[in-house]
Amino acid sequence: MDRFEKTFTALKENNNKAFVPYIMAGDGGLEGLVDRLKLLEKFGATAIEVGVPFSDPVADGPTIQRAGIRALNQGTTLKNIISELEKARREVSVPIILMTYLNPIYRYGINEFVQDIQTAGVDGCIIPDLPIEEEGIITLQLEEAGIELIRLVTLTTPLERIKTIAGKGKGFLYTVTIKGITGVRNEYDSELNQFLKAVKAISPIPVLAGFGISSQEQIKEITKYCDGVIVGSKIVDLFYSENVQELEELMSVLKPISKII
């Protein structure tokens, strides 16, 4: 049983919800990545999504774009990120998910990329600009390495396509909660709750909601209809402002599961 299976089995057995924070690798200095991962695990992260800075992101809002620019300006590279994640794996036991666009993987070399993230102990990979019709360029390599490709669906994805996408994975289904890019939102479309219920009804794997989630109130409401949340821009902001207390308070809204080894 891999880390994803152990984690989500424990969540279900304890009637808990997942909290997956997102951070931008290299923002604030790549040398601090391991400590940030350890802190997020300490505060109760179910898993951690680590973003790779990219010069031309298509899904990232202003907060994450700025974090990516800061990271790139400090010389952050995909190879160096993977090296730091290998160090982190010695001390961090929760699943680690690497989020990157396809171009950096191509430049790195698909086979070498998969081999290196496997060695580093990465559990999952999110590639937001890779549609299911084209994912065959990397899925076999990821499957052989035991790394989950985490796929995304949106409010505009037809239910039949959602069923197809959800049937391909074993980790979790990333369900985008807004029609647009990442970023803090004060309110959501009225159809979101019904959408999450519909996705939950047809997905054989856990359904996690992400994009724009920034408050305890939103987390409590959204997790009534799915298995957990992914919080990005708010986490990035709190690290940038060094507001560790508010970070801990935000993550305390969902009861953390026991540490998975």
Q: What ranges do the domains of the chain cover? A: 3-249
* pLDDT tens digits, 182-240: 544 455 566 889 999 999 999 999 999 999 898 999 999 999 999 999 999 999 999 99
Q: Note the pLDDT of residue 190.
A: 67
Q: Domain 3-249 belongs to what architecture?
A: Alpha-Beta Barrel (3.20)
Closest by alpha carbon to 99, among 148, 49, 54?
Answer: 49
Q: Note the pLDDT of residue 64.
A: 94
Q: Measured in Å, how far apart are the chain's first and last C-alpha atoms?
A: 11
Rg (CA), the chain: 17
Q: Note the pLDDT of residue 227.
A: 96
Q: What is the 3-state secondary structure (H, E, C) of the chain?
A: CCHHHHHHHHHHHCCCCEEEEEEECCCCCHHHHHHHHHHHHHCCCCCEEEECCCCCCCCCCHHHHHHHHHHHHCCCCHHHHHHHHHHHHCCCCCCEEEECCHHHHHHHCHHHHHHHHHHHCCCEEECCCCCCCCHHHCHHHHHHHCCEEECEECCCCCHHHHHHHHCCCCCCEEEECCCCCCCCCCCCCCCHHHHHHHHHHHCCCCEEEECCCCCHHHHHHHCCCCCEEEECHHHHHHHHCCCHHHHHHHHCCCCCCCCCC
* pLDDT tens digits, 11-49: 999 999 999 999 999 999 999 999 999 999 999 999 999
Known catalytic residues are 49, 60
